[in-house]
Structure 1
Amino acid sequence: MDDEYPFDNASAPASDRMSALEASYDTTTFRHLAELGVGAGWSCWELGAGGGSVARRLAEQVGPDGHVLATDLDTRLLADLPANASAVRHDVRAEPVPDREFDLIHARLVLIHFPERDELVAKLAGALAPGGWLVLEEIEPRGQTVLETPDEASATIFRSVQGRILDLLERAGSDVEWAGQLPEVLAGAGLREVGSARSTTRWPGGGPEIRLLAANSVELAEKLTADGVPPEEIEQFRRVLADPRFTVSSYPLVSGWGRR
C-alpha cells in the first residue's frame, strides 16, 4: 500500500472525471443538502471540491450573507466561483482544519481513499459549529453490476478491467467497503441525528456518467499496464463503455450525515 491519492486534478482526464461525477451524483447530493436545510447565511466547507459544482450550488443556497470555502489538493478546476465562495489549496490529511466553525462540511468521494479516514471524520466533526452538519458521501464500487450487454464478451472484459482498477485503488489505500460504515463512523465521532441513504442509477454506454470509468482507465493506464493488463484490453474496455447497447449500474452512493 502506498497511501497516495490515486488521481490527479492536473491530469488530462481529470475534467472528464469531474464532469462524469457531477452527472452521476449531483442530483442526489443536492437533494440531501436541501433536506438538511442549508440556507441563507450558512458557513460551508466543501472538502475535495473537484470541479466545483457542489460549491457553486451551496453558494446559491447560502446567499450573499453566507460563505462557501472550497478546498482541494489542486484548485485549477475551481475557477470562476461566485463572490461568496473561495477556493483554497488544502490537504486535510496534513494541515489543520480552517480556523472557523462551519454550519455544514461536505465531502464526496474523498475520504474513501485515505487510510486514516476514521480519524479524519473526527477531525472534521471538530470543525463544526454547534448544530452544524457533517455530510459524507462515498461509493461502494464493487456493488456495480452489468445490467445490459450486447454479448458476454463485453461483460467479461468490463468485469476484468474494472476489477483490476479497483484492485489498484485498494492497494493505494482506498477502502471500497467503507461507505457502508458511515453511520457508525459518524456516531463514533460524537455526532447526533445520524442518518444515511443509499442510491443507485443506470449508466448507459456512451452516456455522460459512464465516462467516469473511461477517464479512470486513461488516468490509471500506466499503472494498469505495469500491473499486467494488456493495453489492448484497456482499449477494449473503453470500446465497451462507449457502446449504447451496454449498461451498468452506477457505483452505489452512500450518503451519511450527522449533527454536532
Structure 2
Amino acid sequence: MDDDYPFDNASAPANDRMSALQASYDAATVEHLANLGVGPGWSCWEIGAGGGSIARWLAERAGADGHVLATDVDTRLLADLPSNTSVVHHDVREEPVPDRKFDLIHARLVLIHFPERDELVAKLSAALAPGGWLVLEEIEARGQTVLETPDEASASVFRSVQGRIIDLLERAGSDVEWAGRLPDVLAGAGLREIGSGRVTTRWPGGGTEIRVLAANSLELADKLAEEGVPAEELEQFRKVLGDPRFTVSSYPLVSAWGRG
C-alpha cells in the first residue's frame, strides 16, 4: 500500500505467508461470516484479499446473484476466482471507496498497520448498505506464548527475534494493541449490533501455520539486520520454528463486527 507497509506480495516468502495465515485463521473467519448470514445475492468487498481464500468462499456463498469485489495493492496472488468476483487493484488508504454499497465489508490483518486506521474504519462504514456488516479481524501480536520447547535456548532465541520483529512493525506504524479496541472503534464509527470473538490455536514447529513467522523473518531480514539482529540469530530462529519439539500459541485473532 505505502512504503511503510511491511509486507509485499511480490516477495519470495509471500506464498508461505499467505498459506500460513489461511491455515491459521480461515476457519475462524468463515465461522463468523457464516453466522452473520452471508448468502445468496450479497454484495461483498474483501479488502486486502491476499491469496483469495476468503474471497473465494464469499463468492460461493453469494452465488450467481451476488458479487464479490476482491481488492489489494498487489493482485498477483488472486487467480482462478469464481466468475461472480471482480479483482481490482485498490489502495484503501489513498483511493475513494467504490461507488456502490455493500452488504458485507471484510478486512483481515490490514488496517492494524496504518496510523490512520480509525479514520479508515469510518470510511468503510460509510460504504455499507443499510443493515450491512463491517467485519474487521486483527492479531494481538504480543499475545504469543511458548507452549513446548526442547530447551530454554530455543525459547530464548524465539522470544528475542520475535520481539524484535514486533518492535520493528510498531516503529513502522503498526498498533499491536489495536485488536483489543476493535469493538469500541466500530461503535465509535456509528455501527450497531457490535460483536466480537477471539481465537488462539497451537502452532507446532515444522507445521504450515508457523511458517508465517519464518516468512516474516525472511521478508524483514534486511531491516532486522539494520536493527542489529545477527544473521546467525535469524538462522537459529528459523531452525527453532522447524523443530517439531517446539510449539507456540498462534497470534490471538480478534474478530469484531458491527452493522450499518
Amino acid aligned to 2:178: W
Q: What are the residue-to-residue correspondences of 1:20-99 with 2, within 5 Å?
A: 20-99=20-99
Say which SS state the counterpart of residue 183 (structure 1) adopts.
helix
The 1-side partners of 2:89 and 2:20 are apart by: 22
The 1-side partners of 2:211 and 2:3 are apart by: 26
Partner residue, 2:170:
170
The 2-side partners of 1:88 and 1:19 are apart by: 21
Partner residue, 1:192:
192
Q: CA RMSD, aligned part only?
A: 0.8
Partner residue, 1:141:
141
Amino acid aligned to 1:207: G
Say which SS state the counterpart of residue 143 (structure 1) adopts.
coil
The 2-side partners of 1:61 and 1:34 are apart by: 9
Give the C-alpha shift of residue 86 in structure 1.
1.1
Partner residue, 1:124:
124
Contact 1:97 1:124 in 2 (8 A): yes
Give the C-alpha shift of residue 3 in structure 1.
6.9
Partner residue, 1:159:
159
Find out whether 1:4 has 2:4 as its counterpart: yes
Partner residue, 1:238:
238
| Cα separation, partners in 2 of 1:3 and 1:180, compared to 1, 3 Å | farther
Partner residue, 1:216:
216
TM-score (norm 1): 0.99
Say which SS state the counterpart of residue 121 (structure 1) adopts.
helix
- 1:223-254, Cα deviation, whole Å (9 max, x unpaired): 00111000000000000000000000000000
What are the ranges of 5 or more consecutive residues in structure 2 without an aligned counterpart?
Answer: none
Structure 1 runs of 4+ with >6 Å offset: none
TM-score (norm 2): 0.99
Amino acid aligned to 1:227: E
Alignment identity in percent?
A: 82
How many corresponding residue pairs?
A: 259
Partner residue, 1:101:
101
What are the ranges of 5 or more consecutive residues in structure 1 without an aligned counterpart?
Answer: none
